[in-house]
Amino acid sequence: MSPLSQMSRPLVRSSSNMRSFSIAVPARREGQTISPKPRGYLADKEPITRREATSERYFVKTQSMQPEQPETYQMVRQKMLEHRRHLDELDQYLQILSRQQKTATYY
């Protein structure tokens, strides 16, 4: 090789079978189902504690928006009674209509 072509080539060559660290897949032992512990920035943050904190914030937020439990129970019970009365009225109306149809004669 000529000295000029050697100077134009990069000093460090990457082998084709090596991957860049940004896309490297962490190796696992045979039968291992969990991924290895994260390193660097991710090692500072535990996913379980973040998940717990998020679910706790969601719980507190939803509880503050919902009315108190006994009031909710009373409201649901009141609505249920109103619907029951309405269904009873409709049932009576249907019975009256069926009696009228039995007595009516069609020509």
Q: Which pLDDT score, from 0 to 100, does residue 94 have?
A: 95
Confidence of residue 1 (pLDDT cuts 50, 70, 90): low
74 or 12: which leads in pLDDT: 74
Q: Please state, in angstroms and as integers, the Cα–Cα distance from residue 15 to each residue in 8, 12, 18, 19, 58, following that order.
A: 18, 10, 6, 9, 49
Average pLDDT score, the chain = 74
Percent of the chain with pLDDT over 90: 21
Task: Give the model's pLDDT for residue 96.
Answer: 94
Task: Look at residue 89 in the predicted model and tell me its pLDDT.
Answer: 97
Q: Looking at residue 2, what DSSP letter applies?
A: -
Task: Grade residue 40 by pLDDT with cuts at 50, 70 and 90.
Answer: low
Token output for 79: 């609505």
Residues 77 and 2: their CA atoms lie apart, in Å, by 94
pLDDT over 80 (residue 100) = yes
Q: pLDDT at residue 10 above 80?
A: no
* Residue 63 near residue 56, CB atoms below 8 Å: no
